[in-house]
Amino acid sequence: MIARRDFLRLAGGAGLSLGLTGCASADLGNLVGMATEGFNQSIEALLLKQSPVPEFALDRIQPAELIVNGFSNYAPAIDPSTFRLTLDGDVVKPLNLSMEDLYKLSKKSMVIRHVCVEGWAAIVQWAGVSLRDLVQLAQPANNVKYVYIQSADGYYESWDIASLVHPQTLLAYEMNGNPIPIPNGAPLRLASPIKLGYKLSKWVTRITFTSSLVPPVWLRDRSDRALLIATARYGLNPVKGFWEDQGYEWFAGV
């Protein structure tokens, strides 16, 4: 690893179910506006006080500068027709959403700078679903402060809830006006201008809401084959995130 990554390693830390039937029989986009009753008031307060990061013009996009990297050479090919995104944990309404369900939600596009801990950056256009819309649908409990994020390749991450509901934190399904390529995280990946690249998980399949940074069952059990391989290869005891558990900064703000 190059200097900045080594530096962060040494620095350390600086219900109800909305299933497919419900989604198919209703206008899912309208449900966002209907889900406010019983919504966590502390998260509502976060939504009101957050400000967006300045974005770039479309002609500033740097497609050649976005480097494909990851913790392994494994890039899972996920069939979008069978893909499901799960939102669970301490929520009133667990969700199990298809890509068609996600397409029904309001689509947000942004042109932001993706910053890698290795010292490079690229201006990219991302488009997809705002995490704050999904959070509003799931209705987290009042004690929720964090989420754990599972990826199809075995990668795992955790975020603070305030960063998750930032207006420019997306689950993106488009990159530079086209569907995201598999190496970049298709069909769904995190995109945000407020976090370093290693927090922006690719191939996202699950988001689990929690009151503390205690790994959820799916992470503790390590039942996913790719996660078992990663754990065996790197000797990890999963706690906060793949790279964080090797000494990288947890918050990783830009």
pLDDT digits (tens, 9 = 90+) for 2-37: 344 443 443 333 333 334 333 333 455 555 554 444
In three-state secondary structure terms, 143 is: coil
Residue recorded with tokens 């305030």 = 162
Across the range 64-91, mean pLDDT stands at: 91
Residue 36's pLDDT is what? 46
Mean pLDDT of the chain: 84
Q: Domains along the chain? A: 3-68+76-246 (3.90.420.10)
Query: Residue 187 phi/psi, 5° resolution?
Result: -90, -5
Residue 168's pLDDT is what? 97
Give start and end residues of each alpha helix (H) in 69-141: 99-104, 131-138
Residue 30's pLDDT is what? 55
Residue 31's pLDDT is what? 53
Report the phi/psi class of residue 247: left, alpha or beta, with left for phi > 0 and alpha for psi in -120 to 50.
left
- Is the peptide bond preceding residue 187 cis, with omega within 30 degrees of 0? yes
Its pTM stands at 0.83
